[in-house]
Amino acid sequence: MLNAYFVSDIHISSPDSSEGRKFVEFLVTLTGGYNITHLFLLGDIFDLWIADHECFIDRYKEIIDQLQRLRNEGVTISYFEGNHDLYLRGFWGEQLGFSVYTSSAYIRLGNTLLRLEHGDEMDPEDKGYLFLRWFLRTRLMRALISNLPGTLVQIIGENLSFYSRRFSSPTRLVDGSKIIETMHAHARQAHEEKPFDVFIAGHTHVRDDSQISSNRGNFRSVNLGSWLDSPCYFKLCDTEGDFFELHGHAKAIDCN
């Protein structure tokens, strides 16, 4: 049976933050081969993670250990880069064996074709952020940041995190209906380019679950919201999917 979990925008700032503790509690309840087959991390899991610097690896060891446990239990884990977690291939991909994506991807689970992405490319009017996103992913910046001392990377990363919020904040400051309209327009355009069954993204911090029509048919559009507002995960079981809130103890819910 398919048991796929999707989370994004947890924004863990430290291991002892409420988001950090709740995420660990959530992971502990998952067992590969029992209640989970796939785990999709759709970006901004951490408020700051850059490349494979030891300062991040040491800081979040407990989370990494839980994710490694799931991987060893046979869970397929996919990590999509966000605007707060960058250059993930070296550690998360090559060392841990996760699938790492820097942009959108099409993934088939059973009979369901998914289009997955972090969601930070959804708004074509967010030109300041789109430029920053492009600049941070140039070879020069990647090589520079990957080879700097970890403490210096933390300082630079905190500033990049600030500017990332600054550039993308105008979109988030408008009312929720405008954000949802932008999400749906992006998903519809993507569907017309290449049809899929379900679109799942994060980034906007606005949770949404809608049925959308395009010129090439109908599909489901899901935005995962943010753990800063209301911790939750989306779970897809075969062809059925739904949101589950995390109240109190962060326990995963079985499909059965």
| Stated pTM of the model | 0.88
Per-residue pLDDT tens listing for the chain (256 residues): 899 999 999 999 899 999 999 999 999 999 998 899 999 999 999 988 988 888 899 999 999 999 999 999 999 999 999 988 989 999 999 999 999 999 999 999 999 999 999 998 887 676 666 666 767 777 777 777 777 776 776 666 666 665 555 545 444 555 677 889 999 999 999 999 999 999 999 999 999 999 999 999 999 999 999 998 889 999 999 868 999 998 755 555 555 4
CA geometry: angle 117, 77, 42, nearest 5 deg: 25
pLDDT of residue 122: 83
Report how far residue 72's alpha carbon sits from residue 78's, in angstroms, rounded to the nearest whole number: 14
The residues with which 127 forms a beta bridge, in sequence order, are none
Domain ranges of the chain: 4-245
pLDDT of residue 169: 47
List the CATH code of the domain at 4-245.
3.60.21.10
Q: DSSP secondary structure string, the chain?
A: ---EEEE----B-STTSHHHHHHHHHHHT--BTTTBSEEEE-S-SBS-EETT-HHHHHHTHHHHHHHHHHHHTT-EEEEE--SSEE--IIIIIIIT--EEESS-EEEEETTEEEEE--STTS-TT-HHHHHHHHHHTSHHHHHHHHHS-HHHHHHHHHHHHHHHHHHHHHHHHS-HHHHHHHHHHHHHHHHHHS--SEEEE-SS--EEEEEEEETTEEEEEEEE--TTTS-EEEEEETTEEEEEE--SS-------
